[in-house]
Amino acid sequence: MPAVSKLVGRNAPRREGPEKLCGVAKYVDDYALRGCLFGATLRSTIARGRIRSVVLDPAFPWHEYVVATADDIPGANYVALIENDQPLLAKDRVRHLQEPILLVAHSVRAKAYAALAHVRVEYEAEAPLFDPEQSQAVFKTFHIARGDVEAALAGADVIVEGEYRLPHQEQAYIETNGAAAWFEKDGTLVTLGSLQCPHYVVKALKASFALPEEKVRVIQAVTGGGFGGKEEYPNVICAHAGLLARKAGRPVKIIYDRHEDMAATTKRHPAVIRFRSGATRDGRLVAQDVEILMDGGAYVTLSPVVLSRGTLHATGPYDCPDVRIRSRVVMTNTPPNGAFRGFGAPQTLFAAEMQMERLAHKLGLDPIALRRKNAVQAGSTLPVGQTLRESVGARQALEACVKRSGYARRARECTRWNRSPKRPSWRGIGLALVHHGAGFTGSGELYLGSRAAVTLTREGELRVLSGSTEFGQGTTTLFSQIVAETLGVPLELVTVETPDTARVPNSGPTVASRTCMMVGRLLREAALELRAALSAIGSPFPATPSALKAAARKLCGDAPAKRFEAVYRKPDWVSWDDKSYTGDAYEAYSYGAMAVELEIDKATFETGIRGVWIAADIGGVIHPLFAEGQVIGGATQGLGYALLESVLYEGGVMKNARFTDYTIPTALDTPRMDVAFVPSPYSLGPFGAKGVGELPMDFPAPAVAAAVRHATARFVDALPITPERIASALSKDAA
């Protein structure tokens, strides 16, 4: 039996916390690299057209600078991702405003930027396409069908229909994108970046620099927020830094300022969703017919996968026999969109939940009763053909949320409040119930073949080796807890290696709410192997540094270390067919419900949040405080999506690309939130855990919209629900 007390399920202090709290943790721009130059990027000023010429002003002191163009790319001029359609640097044509064309570097950062004004690009502009509804260039489509949705609609007692518009959203990590790169004497390209997926960058650099795996090394610096915005974009900025470094023969750092980061890098996909729902008179769902259109921007990037996840979540966590989902993502001449926490699901779940709200209203049913009638449980079969086997906590999350919020009482009080015309405000309460699959979709995890390892050195050092990155979610601490608890050692004896591709295996990207469930599971397996090996030599659960050292010497013998590596194995029951797109889409889903009570000022239409209650099923909770932090943080981003954040596109580019004009929630905008986790362990998750990262992004917008409907008797079907939108809705008739 382990002598060390339980670590999992307790709040261990953040492993890298002290360094972050003292300003000692090193983010990319904190590295002082000897002889480093600073890079700046020249970007296109038209949305579509041919590049006729790129001319450097002859009167400018270019000898002080290093300049790189597409001609300097030793390998392929594309950003390796799903398709290889996105140029690393534009050469003959551009497909969006802000597309990178040329790079400059100088030893003084301000002078690098100043040089950009001395490059003249001549274009032959062509008519750009900005409206996704007009675009014929389709990146990807999906068609999921079960039963006969038209017949079911025809036979339904009641039908509700809606059209929902979801905007771009900017990740707004407080640390902008940045990367440094240099070449070692042996020709190895090394890049240090603010990033989520070091092995994605390896793949991209191999292609663009025509280098073999051993000659590319990617190191994650301490990263100041990602949220998906640093999932694939680092492929671009790391390669740009590398191009300049190659030409300069010196290290180069490129750090975007806020305006460039907002205007040029990826955003959440905007979507238009048309939804018809049919139900019986007593509120049983009989038909759901969904059409989804997403705007991918100019290049494919991750659009097929965003669309996939959005499509698979589109009908919400409900039983419904006859379903059809038709989705497509198309090209427009705008900066490419990409990953942002939620990854398609916040868009489609907004529509799904608003449809439930419409149904409840039309049927005269309480919205909670409607959810109770239709929510999935163990044994439910999803439209894609997956039967939910275990850990289906949708109903528990719903009940916990309803209870903790005092939903019924508050709903009555809001209704009573609204009856009096003398009140200065309207009040409302709304609830949303959502699901979110953990891990890569379908055969994605198999395709990734993730690996993670635990090593014990002869000196007694326990190391966790994985390509998973820490950028605030608690990866480092979670991994430490899982491994330390499995081995019965104190937390401090476990060291998690910095994700450096020269030293860690490819554990897959740190995205898709997969890190704890998938990679944590691998580490638990690896640690169990080590534990078995220690038991075999008679030294189980070493609880002190000296005991661990003694055990290590015994285990390793003459070898410097012993390594235990686990590789992803598909569970036997998981079955997925890529061709028909049917089967088990995700090993497990997390579930969550959020209730929000709000107040709308009758004079200004401003919305104030009076209370937020969240209950979630995330499986086993490894670290309650960090899990709560993920929920509150994600829900705050969701409240921003719902109420405050507006990406304004004009002429194909973001017009309000700075914090002054793109307003994310401040401490004063964000309410206190009551968060609870319902017990619902997943048997294949490490200590029962599923995923939590993205779930909280899914419920705020529909919960807010439902509350607004209660307060104003109006449906607002587009985000953000600004005072202007509320004022406009109120000038029309009540729903």
Partner 1 sequence: MRTRFTVNGKARSFSGSGMKRLLDVLREDLELPGTKEGCGEGECGACTVLLDGQAVVSCLIPIAQVAGRRVATVESLGRPDRLGTLQEAFLAEGAAQCGICTPGMLMTAAAYLRRGGRADDGAIRRELAGNLCRCTGYQHIVSAVQKAARRGSAGRPRKRA
Partner 2 sequence: MRGDAEAAGVLRPRTPAEAVRLFQKHKDALPIAGGTDLMVAWNAGGLAGRTFLDVSSLRAWSGIRQAKHALILGSLATHTELQRHPLVLRRFPLLAQACATVGGVQIQNRGTIGGNVANASPAGDTFPPLAVYAATVALVSAGGPRQVPLLEFFTGPKRTCLAPGELVESVRIPLPARPPQRAIFRKVGTRAAQAISKTVAAGLLWLKRDGTVEELRFALGSMAPTVRRLRSAEAFVQGRRLTPAVVREAVALVSDDVAPIDDVRSTAEYRLAVSRNLLLRFLSEPR
Binding site for partner 1 (CB under 8 A): 11, 13-14, 16-27, 29-30, 171-176, 222-227, 257-258, 471-474, 625-626, 628-629, 632-637, 658-660, 664-668, 670, 672-673
Question: With respect to partner 1, which residue has the nearer C-beta, 242 or 634?
Answer: 634
User: At closest approach, how far in Å is the CB of 168 from partner 2?
Assistant: 14
Question: With respect to partner 2, which residue has the nearer C-beta, 622 or 632?
Answer: 632
User: At closest approach, how far in Å is the CB of 332 from partner 2?
Assistant: 21
Beta-bridge partners for 178: 255
625 binds, among partner 1, partner 2, none (CB under 5 to 8 A by kind): partner 1
**Does 606 sit near partner 2 (CB under 8 A)?**
yes
543 binds, among partner 2, partner 1, none (CB under 5 to 8 A by kind): none
Binder among 340, 605, 626, 699 for partner 2 (CB under 8 A): 605
656 binds, among partner 1, partner 2, none (CB under 5 to 8 A by kind): partner 2
**Does 465 sit near partner 2 (CB under 8 A)?**
no
Question: With respect to partner 1, which residue has the nearer C-beta, 425 or 637?
Answer: 637
User: At closest approach, how far in Å is the CB of 599 from partner 2?
Assistant: 13
Burial per residue of 586-602, b for 16 or more beta-carbon CB atoms within 10 angstroms, e otherwise = bbbbbbbbbbbbbbbee
Stretch in the footprint of partner 2 (CB under 8 A) among 226-234, 279-287, 364-372, 661-669:
661-669
Binder among 213, 390, 492, 724 for partner 2 (CB under 8 A): 724
User: At closest approach, how far in Å is the CB of 670 from partner 1?
Assistant: 5
606 binds, among partner 1, partner 2, none (CB under 5 to 8 A by kind): partner 2
Tokens of 383: 């439209």
Question: With respect to partner 1, which residue has the nearer C-beta, 16 or 461?
Answer: 16
**Cα separations in angstroms, 683 against 587, 616, 680:** 11, 17, 9
User: At closest approach, how far in Å is the CB of 649 from partner 2?
Assistant: 11
**Does 184 sit near partner 2 (CB under 8 A)?**
no
**Cα separations in angstroms, 115 against 39, 61, 62, 65, 217:** 11, 9, 8, 9, 30
Classify strands 653-654 and 649-650 as parallel, antiparallel or unpaired. Answer: antiparallel
**Does 46 sit near partner 2 (CB under 8 A)?**
no
Binder among 91, 111, 250, 563 for partner 2 (CB under 8 A): 111
Binder among 323, 484, 644, 705 for partner 2 (CB under 8 A): 644
**Does 161 sit near partner 2 (CB under 8 A)?**
no
x/- contact string, 250-269, with partner 2 (CB under 8 A)? -----x-x-x----------
Is the distance from CB of 580 to CB of 403 less than 8 angstroms?
no
Residue 546 dihedral angles phi and psi, to the nearest 5° = -70, -40
**Total residues contacting partner 2 (rule CB under 8 A)?**
31
Query: Residue 307, exposed/middle/buried by CB under 10 A (0-12, 13-18, 19+)?
Result: buried
**Does 570 sit near partner 2 (CB under 8 A)?**
no
Question: With respect to partner 2, which residue has the nearer C-beta, 1 or 667?
Answer: 667
Q: Which of 543, 537, 564, 545 is nearest to 456 (CA)?
A: 564
Q: Length of the chain, please?
A: 735
Q: Sign (positive/negative) of CA torsion 127, 130, 131, 136? A: positive
Binder among 648, 679, 683, 735 for partner 2 (CB under 8 A): 648
Residue 176 dihedral angles phi and psi, to the nearest 5° = -70, 170
Residue 172 dihedral angles phi and psi, to the nearest 5° = 55, 40
335 binds, among partner 2, partner 1, none (CB under 5 to 8 A by kind): none
Cα 336–chain centre separation:
16
Question: With respect to partner 1, which residue has the nearer C-beta, 168 or 725?
Answer: 168
Q: d(Cα 352, Cα 329) in Å, to the nearest integer? A: 19
User: At closest approach, how far in Å is the CB of 720 from partner 1?
Assistant: 16
User: At closest approach, how far in Å is the CB of 618 from partner 1?
Assistant: 16
Q: d(Cα 679, Cα 478) in Å, to the nearest integer? A: 19
| Radius of gyration of the chain, Cα coordinates, nearest whole angstrom | 26
Torsion of CA 191, 195, 197, 202, to 10 degrees: -20
Q: d(Cα 441, Cα 618) in Å, to the nearest integer? A: 18
Q: d(Cα 686, Cα 1) in Å, to the nearest integer? A: 19
Q: d(Cα 514, Cα 600) in Å, to the nearest integer? A: 38
Residues that bind partner 2 (CB under 8 A): 108-111, 113-114, 255, 257, 259, 602-606, 608, 644, 648, 655-656, 660-661, 663, 665-669, 723-724, 727-728
